[in-house]
Amino acid sequence: MTITNNVGLYLHIPFCLKKCRYCDFLSFPCSDEEALTEYTEALVREIRIKASEWPYRMIDSVYIGGGTPSILSEKNVARIMDQVNKNFVLSDDPEITIECNPATASEEKLQAFREMGINRISIGIQSWDNSVLRLMGRAHDKNDSFTAIRNAKKAGFDNINLDLMFGIPGQTMKMWRDSIRQCIFLRPQHISLYSLQLEEGTQFYKMVYEDHILSEPSEMTDRKMYHDAIIMLEDAGYNLYEISNAALPGYESFHNSKYWSYDDYLGLGLGASSFIGGVRYKNCTNMLEYLDYIKKGQAPVNVDDIEKYSKRDEMGIYVFTGLRKSEGIDIKEFEKIFGTKFFSVYDPSLINVYFGYLDFDGCRLKLTEEGRDIANRIMSEFV
């Protein structure tokens, strides 16, 4: 069911300097060099295990994500890259990304990353306002962000992504617009914009819904922040190619596009997810269990987490993720992959029900600008 024969490789580093107040990702605060090296060694072994049990497929993108991968020493990242190169067949010019927190992005480190062949860097700026950063519990301030971007440019990175967040409690329209303006001024090749979702179990959730000491911006403010940002970015030459991602022409994220294009990806590391040949599975999320599996030379996959979705489920995933892209989904491609007419599966009246929110030209189905505001509602109609 795959679209290309190539595969994206995701490597998860589940450690951070500290836990941000809004974060519900699989990440733990850790600065113990021994523990970081122990995990690196396990990941390296997992790379070998997977590469040996895996049929010949070419890797055309590598994404080292987290957590905070830049918390690892140069030596540990070099170990990982070395094993990726030795154990997998890489395409001629793969996109290789590493995520960095501005607080852990020294000049020497970024230079070392570039020399290892890492050619794209994603920096978690989130906001250019120190009061917002403090409230979020981030480990960096805006000076760290400036320094990290300068270091990345000095190290020779010419494909830089900056992550930004909006809809943060306490964040005003002015703060948000200033953050966008600052990013545009620095001219990274790629900018990601995420609307903060308050997840149960996070400190922010408790502060907003239980302690009532913070309040969320209204839905209207959240949407205004999104639309203002898109206008500012498009005016500055960025193209919104995905609901949360804008890039200068030619700098769309190749790896992330796989997630929205029904392409295969292999995830390694604690809790990492994979989608290979129509099968989705997830590595275990318990660190001791993970290390134990690896010690025994086994893939760290819980049998319970191997999910063979039904064809109907897969169609839903194809449409749900594909509608995130500005170009939407290609009905012909859908029919080629699933061998079924699109409108024999989905009710054609949905096009009329969501008139003004969905655009269909007889070939492509996509969200309109207004449709992006109710994206989840529309996308769930296809699941």
Query: Residue numbers of the site for ligand SF4 (CB under 6 A)?
Result: 16, 19-20, 23, 25, 27, 66-68, 101, 124
DSSP per-residue letters across 246-264: EESTT---HHHHHHHTT--
Name the 3-class secondary structure at 313: helix
Question: Which CB, 22 or 113, lies closer to ligand SF4?
Answer: 22
- The beta strand positions in the chain, using DSSP E, are 7-13, 15-16, 28-29, 58-66, 89-100, 120-126, 160-166, 190-195, 239-242, 245-247, 265-268, 273-276, 279-282, 307-308, 329-330, 358-360, 364-367
Question: Which CB, 20 or 193, lies closer to ligand SF4?
Answer: 20
Closest approach of Cβ 169 to ligand SF4, in Å?
15
Closest approach of Cβ 137 to ligand SF4, in Å?
8
Q: What pairing do the DSSP bridges indicate for beta strands 279-282 and 307-308?
A: antiparallel
Query: With contact defined as beta carbons under 8 Å apart, do 342 and 349 qualify?
Result: no
Closest approach of Cβ 16 to ligand SF4, in Å?
3
Give the C-alpha distances (Å, rounded to integers) separating 220 from 129, 164, 165, 168, 354.
22, 19, 16, 13, 20
Closest approach of Cβ 20 to ligand SF4, in Å?
3
Q: Considering just the CA atoms, what is the radius of gyration of the chain in Å?
A: 21
Question: Which CB, 86 or 134, lies closer to ligand SF4?
Answer: 134
Cβ neighbors of 161 (< 8 A, separation 6 or more) are 97, 120, 121, 122, 123, 188, 189, 190, 191, 192, 253
Question: Which CB, 16 or 49, lies closer to ligand SF4?
Answer: 16
Q: What pairing do the DSSP bridges indicate for beta strands 273-276 and 279-282?
A: antiparallel
CA atoms of 2 and 154, how far apart (whole Å): 39
Question: Which CB, 25 or 309, lies closer to ligand SF4?
Answer: 25
Question: Which CB, 19 or 364, lies closer to ligand SF4?
Answer: 19
DSSP code for 206: I
Closest approach of Cβ 2 to ligand SF4, in Å?
29
Closest approach of Cβ 202 to ligand SF4, in Å?
9
DSSP code for 118: -
Closest approach of Cβ 203 to ligand SF4, in Å?
11
Question: Which CB, 30 or 112, lies closer to ligand SF4?
Answer: 30
Closest approach of Cβ 265 to ligand SF4, in Å?
19
Instruction: List the one residue out of 325, 278, 321, 268 whose CA is nearest residue 299.
Output: 268
Closest approach of Cβ 192 to ligand SF4, in Å?
13
Question: Which CB, 124 or 267, lies closer to ligand SF4?
Answer: 124
Question: Which CB, 138 or 325, lies closer to ligand SF4?
Answer: 138
CA atoms of 359 and 94, how far apart (whole Å): 34
- Tokens read off for 232: 């500012």
